[in-house]
């Protein structure tokens, strides 16, 4: 959402001034002339940040609140979960036994990435801000270790956790953490660039990764991803994710705030890090 506010060429046109802010949401149909979507259906789509949305139904689909709570459809069973799933498995080419590092690991995407990697028998270390989040990663989500970027010496911890180097680094944050991880890559490592939350509000240039020549030394690759490219396989992935959730192998965590008037303050939590899991804003009573 932050990227959509920059006036720059991207994978989707920027949101214009005075337009409704673009957002993916879940809602209930209260009136319909559509033959497929009926009153009282629950739907998922690009609702925007608003209490009522009108749609022709394109790129909307129905969701079932009996299978999972509605907020889960905005997180692990929505784009967030799909990003994690295809990012670690397809772009990251995860293999059993890989040593995996995830940044933004207590966030919506990162927490799912790490759990999927654990399901696939990887050794998973997460980077997050603060002791509480780190404890959450290891004690609740089952990560093998956690690095607190606010208090730990990141380079020292990476050396300790990755004596043989990092096979897959899934990066949500960029900046100094990306550089630290690059300096610790294993041969043929894969770096997945999913985001760069540390850089989005820069008033100067983005900090490029000074250690990018580690890609050369280690014959490694750094790849960008945009989840929309995997649309044809969303359903298969969502079924797999749902199954893992039912088996208790995959936990979905939403941090829910209320009131459309609180959008701005809630949005800023993405950058302060003052949230756990997927940040969701509830704009209407059910």
Interface residue list for a copy of itself (CB under 8 A): 9-11, 174, 179, 193-196, 199, 205-226, 229
Angle at alpha carbon of residue 245, lines to 244 and 246, rounded to 5°: 90
The distance of closest approach from Cβ of residue 65 to a copy of itself in the complex, given in angstroms and rounded to an integer, is 33
CB closer to a copy of itself out of 225 and 279: 225
Q: Tokens for 230, please give them.
A: 């995997």
Contact assessment for residue 80 and residue 250, using Cβ atoms and an 8 Å cutoff? no
Of 98 and 179, CB closest to a copy of itself: 179
Q: How far is the CB of 166 from a copy of itself (least distance, A)?
A: 14
The least distance separating a copy of itself from the CB of residue 213, rounded to whole angstroms, comes to: 6
Of 86 and 267, the one with the shorter C-beta distance to a copy of itself is 86
Q: How many CB atoms lie within 10 A of CB 132?
A: 11
Residues 6+ apart with CB under 8 A from 168: 88, 92, 93, 94, 98, 99, 100, 101, 117, 122, 189, 190, 191, 192
Whose CA is closest to 129, among 175, 160, 89?
Answer: 175
Of 47 and 83, which CB lies nearer to a copy of itself in the complex structure? Answer: 83
- Closest CB to a copy of itself among 54 and 216? 216
Identify which of 255, 257, 106 has the alpha carbon closest to the alpha carbon of residue 172: 106
H helix count then E strand count, the chain = 9, 11
| Nearest distance in Å: CB 211, a copy of itself | 7
Residue 42: strand, helix, or coil:
strand
Closest approach of Cβ 195 to a copy of itself, in Å? 7
């Amino acid at each position: 959402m932050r990227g959509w506010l920059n006036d720059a060429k991207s994978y989707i046109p920027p949101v214009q001034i005075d337009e409704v802010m673009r957002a993916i949401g879940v809602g209930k149909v209260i009136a319909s002339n559509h033959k497929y979507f009926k009153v009282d259906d629950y739907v998922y789509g690009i609702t925007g940040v608003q209490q009522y949305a009108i749609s022709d139904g394109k790129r909307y689909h129905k969701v079932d609140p009996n299978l999972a709570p509605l907020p889960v459809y905005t997180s692990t069973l929505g784009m967030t979960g799909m990003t994690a799933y295809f990012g670690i498995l397809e772009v990251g080419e995860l293999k059993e036994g890989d040593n995996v590092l995830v940044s933004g690991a207590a966030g919506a995407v990162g927490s799912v990435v790490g759990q999927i990697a654990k399901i696939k028998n990887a050794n998973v270390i997460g980077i997050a801000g603060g002791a509480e989040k780190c404890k959450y990663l290891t004690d609740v989500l089952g990560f093998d270790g956690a690095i607190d970027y606010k208090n730990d010496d990141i380079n020292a911890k990476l050396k300790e956790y990755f004596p043989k180097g990092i096979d897959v680094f899934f990066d949500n944050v960029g900046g100094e953490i990306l550089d630290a991880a690059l300096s610790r890559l294993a041969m043929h490592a894969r770096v997945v660039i999913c985001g760069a939350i540390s850089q989005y509000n820069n008033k100067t240039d983005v900090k490029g990764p000074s250690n990018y020549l580690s890609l050369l030394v280690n014959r490694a690759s750094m790849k960008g991803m945009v989840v929309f490219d995997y649309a044809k396989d969303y359903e298969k992935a969502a079924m797999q994710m749902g199954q893992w959730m039912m088996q208790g192998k995959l936990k979905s965590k939403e941090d829910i705030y209320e009131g459309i008037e609180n959008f701005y303050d809630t949005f800023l939590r993405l950058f302060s890090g003052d949230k756990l899991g997927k940040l969701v804003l509830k704009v209407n009573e059910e």
